Amino acid sequence: MPGADDLMMRIYAAMAQKERELISERTRAALAAAKARGSSLGGDRGYRPAAGPDAATAAQARRQAAEQAAHRLALEVERLRAEGVSGRAAVARVLTERGVPTPRGGSAWTHTTVARVLARSGGIGDPASRVRA
């Protein structure tokens, strides 16, 4: 309010204070009416989990999901290798072009992501992990 002088600012402040008081009165009246009706006010509404969060179980679930995703994606990498795509950067480029989601659901693959998928899957699809006879 560039044109407001000291008097106007004091009036606006007094009006704001009165509004705060009215809101407080309405809130108190509404809470008193709810209490008279027998409603439960504030605090615990009755939901309490039987047990707290279990970090070990959550970690195991994440690990299992990561291994499943890695195995599925390693099979995709194996198919690419059969098509003649070699090198982790090339595999990453093709996976990105085909719109294959990364293990975390992203859209952009990197050679590091490919390497981690292959490492987690036990090397399926990784020529460096193959035993040559």
Domain of residue 118: give its range: 64-127
User: What are the structure tokens assigned to 27, written together?
Assistant: 């809130």
pLDDT in tens, 48-78: 777 778 899 889 998 888 888 888 888 888 8
In the chain, the largest separation of any two C-alpha atoms, in whole Å, equals 94
Question: How large is the average pLDDT for residues 13-37?
Answer: 95
In the chain, alpha helices (H) = 6-37, 55-82, 88-98, 111-120
Task: Report DSSP letters for 82-98, one per residue.
Answer: HTT--SHHHHHHHHHHH
pLDDT of 100 strictly over 90: no
Number of domains in the chain: 2
Domain membership flag for residue 48: no
Q: Which of 99, 77, 97, 79 is nearest to 88 (CA)?
A: 77
Cβ of 72: how many Cβ atoms within 10 Å?
A: 13
**Same-domain status, 31 and 72:** no
- pLDDT confidence of 123, banded at 50, 70, 90? low
Residue with the two structure tokens 């615990």: 44
Domain membership flag for residue 57: no
Look up the pTM and report it.
0.49
**Same-domain status, 26 and 74:** no
